[in-house]
């Protein structure tokens, strides 16, 4: 049953990718409605809302993959459950959970309960902004911008003038000083006053709904069973559980308990274990933790422990995240196009949705990109015959996680070696990665594929996956963890098993083409390139490489 006081101020708080209480501008704005009246007896009726939009659990446009697989959705439901618990414990507010289209649900609720004000976080990509546009034709929404570390209003330029290259962006926002706002929080007196005035707009538990299980959201028994089995796999770097509580616990553990931040720059390219990087990105993607919270915690760490390149580097990574967010806001749907973006394709210049947007000049030959789904499946299943690629892809499929080093390599291999449509890779990552966010994922794939001038090196940006394997997994610890059939392969061939002689294959109990696949690339051409790389790296690691050989690296 709803509150019937006609003089009651009423507000709906729509949670999107901001599933937290701390540093949440939309939440603060909603609560501060209670401060706007001098009448000590006035109340504010609040309806917090989360919508499980069925479109998020459908299938992708090109590859027809689940937009979010069962594991990603499991992480989401845990995060929503934690938000519901925290809202009740902190403010006594009951979260309403609905399944459906927000642009239909929210206007209906506003009409039914005579709600005057709606608060929500702003999004920037097309599926989300199209919902906002439909919504805004029916009601007024007060938007906040809470995704980035650097607030959009604090940029030293307008979005349409965003530098095309990250380094130029970083220099501009850091010069003369990086501006990161303080955490949004209520004073003790303010909190006490608000607590006495905020009430639930809806009291009826049945009307509030509950977090749906995966079957209700359309997942099959097979999908759910596979997810449950994968969650038991001990090889995963971390058991990621959704929610603000888990996010804050991970931040505290990584920075303060384990004291890992001081070596972050040296360890961030690791592959095995939970300690080589912060692994905060899954929680960041759903807004379970604020990037500003991380920034200010790093600054506290620098004061109390140590300030060095490693502490800066975590902030540097958050700047990359901001950059891709602003990049997507500037270029709109061009980030989803095969040829990527160009300096002429800013949506701020009116090209998005315009027939001219299809005529943007591009120096890239689109005909070389294939949509060979059989070849793609071998990449996705970790059966390319190149261990560094395969180990990373198997880790992703089982755990929903892949290191940054792995992502760069598998993306380069798909787009540069296999010449597959890079958007297939982006869609597949969207389906599986626990830390998927639209802007970071698609921006990174543009970067890796070398399309649309995102990276000054363009198509010259290439990762030799054999060389990279020896650089970052010299003894094959990571490869052997995820590809047990290579467990007895000699170290010198661990990232190029096709170089083994017949006797070596027999001794390793690994026949190429039987126990482990042949390489998908042209072995003869790739053999010459990578054999040199293998030799140079092996000698370098054992201290025997001369200067000429080191240049091969």
Annotated binding site for FAD: 264, 277-281, 317-324
User: Which DSSP string corresponds to 234-267?
Assistant: TTSS-----SHHHHHHHHHIIIIIS--GGGHHHH
Contact 449, 335 (CB under 8 A): no
For 30, counting Cβ atoms within 10 Å of its Cβ (0-12 exposed, 13-18 middle, 19+ buried), the class is buried
Give the Cα separation of 85 and 48 in Å (integer). Answer: 12
Give the Cα separation of 167 and 323 in Å (integer). Answer: 10
Tell which residue, 318, 310, 245, has the closest CA to residue 283.
245
Residue 200's CB is within 10 A of a number of other CB atoms, namely 19
Q: What angle do CA 223, 228, 230 make, to 5 degrees?
A: 95
* The token pair that represents 427 in the structure block: 């869609």
Q: What angle do CA 60, 405, 177 make, to 5 degrees?
A: 95
* The token pair that represents 420 in the structure block: 């597959």
The owner of tokens 């809302």 is 49
| CB-based contacts of 225, cutoff 8 Å, min separation 6 | none
Give the Cα separation of 52 and 211 in Å (integer). Answer: 9
3-state secondary structure of 99: strand
**Helix H or strand E encompassing 331:** helix 309-331
Whether the bond into 176 is cis, omega within 30 of 0: yes
| CB-based contacts of 180, cutoff 8 Å, min separation 6 | 149, 150, 292, 295, 296
Maximum separation of any 2 CA atoms in the chain, in Å: 88
Tell which residue, 116, 166, 482, has the closest CA to residue 324.
166
Bind-site residues:
264, 277-281, 317-324
Helices assigned H by DSSP within 97-197: 102-113, 126-136, 166-174, 188-197
DSSP assigned state of 62: S
The owner of tokens 């170089």 is 499
* The token pair that represents 267 in the structure block: 């360890």
Contact 490, 475 (CB under 8 A): no
Residue 268's CB is within 10 A of a number of other CB atoms, namely 17
Contact 489, 476 (CB under 8 A): yes
Contact 214, 223 (CB under 8 A): yes
DSSP assigned state of 23: T
């Amino acid at each position: 049953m709803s509150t019937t006081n006609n003089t009651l101020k009423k507000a709906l708080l729509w949670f999107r990718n901001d599933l937290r209480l701390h540093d949440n501008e939309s939440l603060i704005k909603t609560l501060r409605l209670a401060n706007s009246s001098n009448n000590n007896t006035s109340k504010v009726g609040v309806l917090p809302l989360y919508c499980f939009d069925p479109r998020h659990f459908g299938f992708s446009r090109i590859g027809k993959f689940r937009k979010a697989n069962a594991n990603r959705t499991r992480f989401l439901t845990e995060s929503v459950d934690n938000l519901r618990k925290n809202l009740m414990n902190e403010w006594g507010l009951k979260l309403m959970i609905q399944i459906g289209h927000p642009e239909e649900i929210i206007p209906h609720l506003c009409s039914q309960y005579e709600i005057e004000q709606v608060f929500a976080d702003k999004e920037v990509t097309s599926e989300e902004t199209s919902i906002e546009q439909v919504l805004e034709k029916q009601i007024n929404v007060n938007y906040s911008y809470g995704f980035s570390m650097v607030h959009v209003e604090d940029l030293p330029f307008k979005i349409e003038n965003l530098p095309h290259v990250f380094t130029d962006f970083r220099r501009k926002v850091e010069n003369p000083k990086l501006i990161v706002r303080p955490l949004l929080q209520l004073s003790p007196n303010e909190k006490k006053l608000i607590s006495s005035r905020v009430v639930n707009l809806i009291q009826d538990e049945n009307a509030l709904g509950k977090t749906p299980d995966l079957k209700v959201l359309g997942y099959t028994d097979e999908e759910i069973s596979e997810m449950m089995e994968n969650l038991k796999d001990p090889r995963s770097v971390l058991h990621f559980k959704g929610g603000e509580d888990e996010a804050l616990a991970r931040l505290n553990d990584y920075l303060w308990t384990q004291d890992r931040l001081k070596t972050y720059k040296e360890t961030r390219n690791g592959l095995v274990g939970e300690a080589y990087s912060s692994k905060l990105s899954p929680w960041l993607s759903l807004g379970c933790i604020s990037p500003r919270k991380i920034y200010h915690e790093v600054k506290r760490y620098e004061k109390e422990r140590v300030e060095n390149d490693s502490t800066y580097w975590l902030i540097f990574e958050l700047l990359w995240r901001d950059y891709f967010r602003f990049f997507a806001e500037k270029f709109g749907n061009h980030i989803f196009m095969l040829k990527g973006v160009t300096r002429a394709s800013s949506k701020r210049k009116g090209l998005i949705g315009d027939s001219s947007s299809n005529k943007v000049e591009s120096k890239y030959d689109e005909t070389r990109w294939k949509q060979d789904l059989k070849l793609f499946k071998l990449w996705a299943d970790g059966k390319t015959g190149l261990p560094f690629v395969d180990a990373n892809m198997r880790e992703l499929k089982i755990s929903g996680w892949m290191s940054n080093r792995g992502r760069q390599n598998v993306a380069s291999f798909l787009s540069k070696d296999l010449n597959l449509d890079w958007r297939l890779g982006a869609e597949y990552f969207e389906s599986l990665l626990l830390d998927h966010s639209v802007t970071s994922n698609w921006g990174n794939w543009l970067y890796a594929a070398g399309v649309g001038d995102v990276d000054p090196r363009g198509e010259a940006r290439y990762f030799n996956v054999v060389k990279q394997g020896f650089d970052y997994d010299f003894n094959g610890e990571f490869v052997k963890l995820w590809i047990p059939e290579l467990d007895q392969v000699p170290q010198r061939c661990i990232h190029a098993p096709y170089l083994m002689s017949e006797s070596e294959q027999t001794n390793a109990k690994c026949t190429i083409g039987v126990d482990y696949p042949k390489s998908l690339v042209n072995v003869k051409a790739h053999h010459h390139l990578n054999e040199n790389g293998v030799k140079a790296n092996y000698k370098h690691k054992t201290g025997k490489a001369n200067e000429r050989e080191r240049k091969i690296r």
